[in-house]
């Protein structure tokens, strides 16, 4: 594209309170916010697109982070779904696992199965663990089943047969027979959705995918049609839970892969911002209106896991490792039956929102607490269309003040302490509890509420530096514009490592790469933009858990990598290039790093073969223009702000007026277009070359 026609990119992320839009054109970044519309999320997106300061016909790239699948799971609002299983395994979905949320609670209840029992059906067939057919598929039984499904008029069908990852043809034949018999429903196969061991997890992922498929199809269809009607011609890209973009068609077919769409985009954006500063080890903190999502990035790569819970359900598809707590700007404060002050998980959401929004909210929230302590000014951070009602906020905090035995400001400070305690525990989960010292990391804070809390949390954890990106309030939307296109492929092949043939392994990777090239090409990626990262999950014989280690080929070198790293290249797999002994040694090393010991003389098992196909996306130029000026000229006012129970006459800065390389000492409040940064006494904030605000907390990282 020539300089006379610069590329225009738009990223849209739907949050619980606001829908965020970021437009990048010719290096200029524009931020827009519009209230989310939970009842019909596409309306908020389309409203935001309509208000963009650019013709939609000029948009070249449209990336989207969505909470539609997540909300459907959390609320249990999904399509009428049937499940087809191997005879004798009808109740696997309900039996689940033996573990309980609380091991000492004998009354704990398991989550309601995604598919009710009268919608779960069996068909005679049996494949063993090696893929050999023990009992052929009873096609007559499938045809009889088709008649039952037609009568019940289900919207979607999940098919999960035993050991289908070793031999998927039975599942495919069931699908073909149902379609031939006139079953008008979408069909999800476990051999496509999650072709891996562990019967419950595989069946659950397939059932969730089937239940979400009509929901996501309706949403993305309405969004695509509405955007096209308004003149948008750019193809829609959707952020996946794995931190990569996918084509809208892929998201409609595999909605289970979008359950952490928004949080994953935020982690990608934070990684990019920190990387430009030369920071590769970071903890991300995304606090919006309803929740706070934290994650850890090591060596410039977000940690990816296949052990994630969404609501009450374990979801084993690859996801960015995000831990979520119910603490957002709209989280409601209340006193429990025992007289203790609690915050969340209930949220005021987008409608009516916190009291200070002036839209009818009546319950005190975290945002309202900041208002009472002087840390935010509703006239400075809320859109003009929203009202302001500080007196109503004080009235709502009176019952909390009575409970804590102080005034409304004491109650507000207590609300923030409780919320910070919840978020600090979350930060410890992704760092300390996984063997990482938070003092060796930077904290990247974003979301509309994240920068209000991050500096206090970092100081408590000994994190020396907090980075607040210039587009902190909409970083998830910005992350959509710099993310690669990513597709993950896997299949379980449980066998002794000594029995694995390198040529067989190469054949699996060759098939994965063929699929990856097709999907990346369909997403507009050229061959020279394609990368393939190969890993295997290994374990010691008898273990119930496994570790992922890289499979390096001759072209990528044979140095031992760390767990989670992967060989990456543009060429095809070659069995002769796989040094199986070296791969096993990487597993021993990874096991020793993770658990402190390795049994190098014990037999090793192969569990799952994985490949990540990555289509590289050239990020837009986001470098900020150098800004001259005087720090004092950026002072908007001096405001009374409460820190640690004491009043401070605190300068309030206009972030957009702070010059490059400016430094301000705390206490200070820095107000940006979509987020506010609180700098505590003893801390110092400075502006770097990308217009990030960097807060030195006083910790030395030791």
Cβ pair 316, 195 in contact under 8 A: no
- Flag whether 429 is in a domain: yes
- What is residue 113's predicted lDDT score, i.e. its pLDDT? 92
Cβ pair 35, 18 in contact under 8 A: yes
Cβ pair 320, 260 in contact under 8 A: yes
Residues 488-517 have pLDDT tens digits of 999 999 999 999 999 999 999 999 999 999
Q: How many helices, marked H, and strands, marked E, lie in the chain?
A: 17, 36
Domain identity same for 83 and 128: yes
- Flag whether 563 is in a domain: yes
Residue 557 has pLDDT above 90, yes or no: no
Cβ pair 200, 194 in contact under 8 A: no
CA atoms lying within 13 Å on the CB side of residue 541: 10
Residues 579-627 have pLDDT tens digits of 899 999 999 999 988 888 999 999 999 999 999 999 998 887 777 778 8
Residue 520 has pLDDT above 60, yes or no: yes
Q: Which of 70-84, 382-396, 570-584 has the lowest mean pLDDT?
A: 382-396
CA atoms lying within 13 Å on the CB side of residue 203: 26
The model's confidence at residue 382, banded by pLDDT at 50, 70 and 90, is low
- Flag whether 661 is in a domain: yes
Q: Which of 10-24, 95-109, 676-690 has the lowest mean pLDDT?
A: 95-109
Domain identity same for 12 and 122: no
Give kind and range of the element (H or E) at residue 224. helix 199-229
Domain identity same for 408 and 425: no
Residue with tokens 């269809």: 221
Domain that holds residue 606: 485-615
Residue 560 has pLDDT above 90, yes or no: no
Buried b (16+ CB within 10 A) or exposed e, 631-658: beebbeeeeebbbeeeebebbbbbbeeb
Domain identity same for 501 and 570: yes
Domain identity same for 228 and 348: no
- What is residue 378's predicted lDDT score, i.e. its pLDDT? 62
Domain identity same for 497 and 537: yes
- What is residue 309's predicted lDDT score, i.e. its pLDDT? 86
The model's confidence at residue 563, banded by pLDDT at 50, 70 and 90, is very low
- What is residue 568's predicted lDDT score, i.e. its pLDDT? 54
458 closest CA partner among 280, 692, 688, 680? 680
Residue 564 has pLDDT above 70, yes or no: no
Domain identity same for 515 and 579: yes
- What is residue 29's predicted lDDT score, i.e. its pLDDT? 82
Cβ pair 459, 697 in contact under 8 A: yes
pTM metric for this prediction: 0.85
Q: Is the dihedral of CA 375, 673, 454, 412 positive or negative?
A: positive
- What is residue 573's predicted lDDT score, i.e. its pLDDT? 56
- What is residue 664's predicted lDDT score, i.e. its pLDDT? 95
323 bridge partner residues: 294
Dist CA 506 CA 293 (whole Å):
38
The model's confidence at residue 386, banded by pLDDT at 50, 70 and 90, is very low
- What is residue 35's predicted lDDT score, i.e. its pLDDT? 84
620 closest CA partner among 479, 445, 467? 479
Residues 421-463 have pLDDT tens digits of 999 999 999 888 887 899 999 999 998 889 999 999 999 999 9
SS3 (DSSP) at 26:
coil
- What is residue 390's predicted lDDT score, i.e. its pLDDT? 72
DSSP string, 609-642: EEEEEEE-------PPPP----GGGGEEEEEEEE
Angle, alpha carbons 209-214-217 (nearest 5°): 100
Domain identity same for 112 and 205: yes
Cβ pair 29, 475 in contact under 8 A: no
Cβ pair 136, 168 in contact under 8 A: no
Residues written for the chain: 702
Domain identity same for 553 and 525: yes
- What is residue 701's predicted lDDT score, i.e. its pLDDT? 43
20 closest CA partner among 571, 556, 615, 476? 476
Residues 270-279 have pLDDT tens digits of 999 999 999 9
Q: Is 96 exposed, middle or buried (0-12, 13-18, 19+ CB in 10 A)?
A: middle
Domain identity same for 525 and 635: no
The model's confidence at residue 577, banded by pLDDT at 50, 70 and 90, is low
E strand residue ranges, 417-529: 442-446, 465-468, 485-496
Q: Rg of the chain over CA atoms, in angstroms?
A: 26
Domain end position, chosen among 442, 458, 479:
479
- What is residue 207's predicted lDDT score, i.e. its pLDDT? 97
- Flag whether 702 is in a domain: no
- What is residue 127's predicted lDDT score, i.e. its pLDDT? 94
Dist CA 566 CA 183 (whole Å):
42
β-strands 547-550, 530-540: how paired?
A: antiparallel
Residue 530 has pLDDT above 70, yes or no: yes
Give kind and range of the element (H or E) at residue 535. strand 530-540
Angle, alpha carbons 655-658-663 (nearest 5°): 110
Residues near 556 by Cβ (< 8 Å), separated by ≥ 6? 567, 568, 569
Q: Output 387 or 132, whichever has higher pLDDT.
A: 132
Q: Is the dihedral of CA 39, 41, 43, 48 positive or negative?
A: positive
Q: Which of 96-100, 110-114, 481-485, 611-615 has the lowest mean pLDDT?
A: 96-100
SS3 (DSSP) at 498:
helix
Dist CA 590 CA 343 (whole Å):
39
Domain identity same for 40 and 181: no
Q: What CATH number is given to the structural domain containing 434?
A: 3.30.420.40
Dist CA 55 CA 23 (whole Å):
11
Residues 6-49 have pLDDT tens digits of 688 999 998 777 788 889 887 688 888 888 888 889 998 999 88
Domain end position, chosen among 615, 640, 675:
615
328 closest CA partner among 389, 356, 287? 287
Q: What CATH number is given to the structural domain containing 500?
A: 3.30.1490
The model's confidence at residue 338, banded by pLDDT at 50, 70 and 90, is confident
E strand residue ranges, 434-509: 442-446, 465-468, 485-496
- What is residue 388's predicted lDDT score, i.e. its pLDDT? 53
Residue with tokens 């790569």: 301
Task: Give start and end residues of each alpha helix (H) in 546-694.
Answer: 580-595
Cis peptide before 217 (omega within 30 of 0): no
Dist CA 215 CA 77 (whole Å):
9
Residues of the chain above pLDDT 70, percent: 92
Domain end position, chosen among 586, 615, 644:
615
Q: State residue 630 phi and psi, 5-degree precision.
A: -115, 135
Residue with tokens 């302001």: 388
Domain identity same for 340 and 322: no
- Flag whether 52 is in a domain: yes
Cβ pair 289, 184 in contact under 8 A: no
Residues 649-663 have pLDDT tens digits of 999 999 999 999 999
Q: How many domains does the chain have?
A: 6
DSSP string, 549-591: EE---GGG------TT--EEESS---GGG--HHHHHHHHHHHH
């Amino acid at each position: 594209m020539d300089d006379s026609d610069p590329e225009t990119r738009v990223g849209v992320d739907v949050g619980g309170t606001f829908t965020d839009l970021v437009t990048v054109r010719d290096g200029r970044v524009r931020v827009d916010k519009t209230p989310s519309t939970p009842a019909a999320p596409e309306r908020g997106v389309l409203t935001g697109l309509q208000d963009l300061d650019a013709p939609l016909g000029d948009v070249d790239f449209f990336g989207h982070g969505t909470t539609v699948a997540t909300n459907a799971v959390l609320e249990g609002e999904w399509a009428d779904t049937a499940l087809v299983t191997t005879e004798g395994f009808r109740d696997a979905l309900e039996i689940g696992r033996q573990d309980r949320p609380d091991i000492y609670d004998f009354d704990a209840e398991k989550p309601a199965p995604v598919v009710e029992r009268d919608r779960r059906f069996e068909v005679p067939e049996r494949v063993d663990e090696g893929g050999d057919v023990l009992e052929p598929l009873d096609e007559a039984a499938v045809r009889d089943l088709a008649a039952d499904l037609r009568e019940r008029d289900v919207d979607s069908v999940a098919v999960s047969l035993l050991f289908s990852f070793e031999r998927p043809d039975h599942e495919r034949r069931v699908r073909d027979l149902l379609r031939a018999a006139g079953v008008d429903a979408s069909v999800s196969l476990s051999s496509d959705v999650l072709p891996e061991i562990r019967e419950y997890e595989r069946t659950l992922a397939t059932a969730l995918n089937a239940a979400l498929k009509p929901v996501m199809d309706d949403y993305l269809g309405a969004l695509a049609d509405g955007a096209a009607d308004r003149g948008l011609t750019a193809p829609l890209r959707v952020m996946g839970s794995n931190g990569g973009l996918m084509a809208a068609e892929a998201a409609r077919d595999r909605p289970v892969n979008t359950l952490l769409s928004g949080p994953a985009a935020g982690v990608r954006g934070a990684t990019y911002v920190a990387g430009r500063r030369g920071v590769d080890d970071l903890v991300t903190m995304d606090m919006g209106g309803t929740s706070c999502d934290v994650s850890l990035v090591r060596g410039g790569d977000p940690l990816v896991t296949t052990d994630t819970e969404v609501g009450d359900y374990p979801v084993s598809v690859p996801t960015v490792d995000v831990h979520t707590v119910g603490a957002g700007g709209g989280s409601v404060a209340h006193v429990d039956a025992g007289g203790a002050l609690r915050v969340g998980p209930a949220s005021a959401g987008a409608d009516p929102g916190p009291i200070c929004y002036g839209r009818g909210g009546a319950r005190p929230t975290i945002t309202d607490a900041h208002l009472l302590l002087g840390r935010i000014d509703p006239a400075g951070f809320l859109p003009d269309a929203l009202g302001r009602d500080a007196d109503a906020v004080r009235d709502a905090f009176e019952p909390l003040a009575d409970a804590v035995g102080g005034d409304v400001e004491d109650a507000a400070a207590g609300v923030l302490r409780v919320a910070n305690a919840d978020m600090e525990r979350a930060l410890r989960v992704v760092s300390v509890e996984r063997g990482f010292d938070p003092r060796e990391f930077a904290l990247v804070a974003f979301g509309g509420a994240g920068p209000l809390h991050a500096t206090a949390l970092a100081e408590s954890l000994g994190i020396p530096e907090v980075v607040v990106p210039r587009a902190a309030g909409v970083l998830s939307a910005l992350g959509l514009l710099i993310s690669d296109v990513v597709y993950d492929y896997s299949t379980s092949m449980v066998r002794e490592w000594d029995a694995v043939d390198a040529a067989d392994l190469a054949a699996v990777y060759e098939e994965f790469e063929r699929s990856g090239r097709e999907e990346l090409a369909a997403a507009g990626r050229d061959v020279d933009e394609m990368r393939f990262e190969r890993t295997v999950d290994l374990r010691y014989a008898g273990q119930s858990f496994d570790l992922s280690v890289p499979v390096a080929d001759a072209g990528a070198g044979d140095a031992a990598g760390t767990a989670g790293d992967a060989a990456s290249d543009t060429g095809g797999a070659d069995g002769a290039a796989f040094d199986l002994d070296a791969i096993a040694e990487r597993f021993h090393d990874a096991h020793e790093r993770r658990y402190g010991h390795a049994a190098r003389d014990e037999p090793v098992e192969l569990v799952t073969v994985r490949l990540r196909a990555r289509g590289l996306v050239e990020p837009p130029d986001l470098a900020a223009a150098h800004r001259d000026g005087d720090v004092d000229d950026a002072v908007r006012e001096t405001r009374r702000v409460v820190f640690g129970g004491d009043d401070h006459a605190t300068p309030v800065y206009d972030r957009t007026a702070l010059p490059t390389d400016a430094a301000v000492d705390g206490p200070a409040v820095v107000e940006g277009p979509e987020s506010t940064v609180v700098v505590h006494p003893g801390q110092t904030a400075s502006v770097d070359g990308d217009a990030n605000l960097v807060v030195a907390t006083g910790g030395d990282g030791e």
